[in-house]
Amino acid sequence: MAGIVISGVSRTFGAVRAVDNASLEVGEGEFFTLLGPSGCGKTTLLRMIAGFTELNGGEIRFGSERIDRLPAHVRDIGMVFQNYAVFPNLTVAGNVAYGLRARKVATAEIERRVEEALALVQLTGYGTRWPHQLSGGQLQRVAIARALVIRPRVLLFDEPLSNLDARLRVSMRTEIRDLQKSLGITAIYVTHDQEEAMSVSDRIALMNAGRLEQVGVPVDIYRHPVSRFAAEFMGTTNLVPARMVGRAGDQFVSLRPEALHLASDAPQDWPVLSGTLAHVELLGPIMRLDVKLSDGTVLKAAMLDAPDRSLQAGATISLAYDPARLTVLP
Ligand SMILES: Nc1ncnc2c1ncn2[C@@H]1O[C@H](COP(=O)(O)OP(=O)(O)OP(=O)(O)O)[C@@H](O)[C@H]1O
Ligand SMILES: [Mg+2]
Tell me the CATH number at 226.
3.40.50.300
Element (H, E) at 198: helix 194-200
Grouping H, G, I as helix, E, B as strand and the rest as coil, residue 305 is coil
One-letter amino acid at 177 equals R
Question: Is residue 251, in this structure, part of any structural domain at all?
Answer: no
Based on the domain organization, do 225 and 263 belong to the same domain?
no
Pair 54, 28: CB distance under 8 Å:
no
Based on the domain organization, do 29 and 115 belong to the same domain?
yes
Task: Tell me the C-alpha distance between 241 and 263, whole Å.
Answer: 22
Question: Is residue 238, in this structure, part of any structural domain at all?
Answer: no
Question: Is residue 250, in this structure, part of any structural domain at all?
Answer: no
| Probe target for ligand 1 pocket from 11, 16, 159, 213, with the most ligand atoms within 8 Å of CB | 16
Based on the domain organization, do 302 and 162 belong to the same domain?
no
pLDDT confidence tier of residue 2, bands split at 50, 70 and 90: low
Which of these, 317, 315, 261, lies nearest to 287 by C-alpha position?
Answer: 261
Ligand 2 center–CA 294 separation, angstroms = 43
State which ligand 1 atom lies nearest to the alpha carbon of 45: 18
pLDDT confidence tier of residue 178, bands split at 50, 70 and 90: very high
Identify the residue whose C-alpha is closest to ligand 1 atom 24: 38
Based on the domain organization, do 221 and 310 belong to the same domain?
no
Which of these, 172, 88, 98, lies nearest to 133 by C-alpha position?
Answer: 88
Q: What angle do CA 148, 152, 154 make, to 5 degrees?
A: 105
Q: Give the residue-averaged pLDDT of 195-200.
A: 97
Pair 164, 196: CB distance under 8 Å:
no
Indicate the DSSP class of residue 104: T
Whole domain around residue 54: which residue ranges?
4-232
Q: Give the residue-averaged pLDDT of 50-74.
A: 95
pLDDT surpassing 60 at residue 1: no
Based on the domain organization, do 9 and 115 belong to the same domain?
yes
The ligand with the least distance to the CA atom of 208 is 1
pLDDT surpassing 90 at residue 306: no
Question: Is residue 219, in this structure, part of any structural domain at all?
Answer: yes
The per-residue pLDDT for 85 is 84
The per-residue pLDDT for 248 is 75
Q: Give the residue-averaged pLDDT of 86-90.
A: 93
pLDDT confidence tier of residue 26, bands split at 50, 70 and 90: very high
pLDDT surpassing 80 at residue 247: no
Domain count within the chain: 2
The per-residue pLDDT for 284 is 87
Q: Give the residue-averaged pLDDT of 169-183.
A: 91
Based on the domain organization, do 138 and 60 belong to the same domain?
yes
How far is the CA of 258 from the CAs of 70, 90, 197, 254, in angstroms? 48, 50, 20, 12
In angstroms, what is the C-alpha Rg of the chain? Answer: 24
Identify the residue whose C-alpha is closest to ligand 1 atom 20: 39
Based on the domain organization, do 106 and 157 belong to the same domain?
yes
Grouping H, G, I as helix, E, B as strand and the rest as coil, residue 330 is coil
Q: What percent of the chain has pLDDT over 70?
A: 99
In this structure, of 189-203, 254-268, 295-309, the range with the lowest mean pLDDT score is 295-309
Based on the domain organization, do 226 and 279 belong to the same domain?
no
The ligand with the least distance to the CA atom of 34 is 1
Residue 90: burial class (beta carbons within 10 Å; 0-12, 13-18, 19+): middle
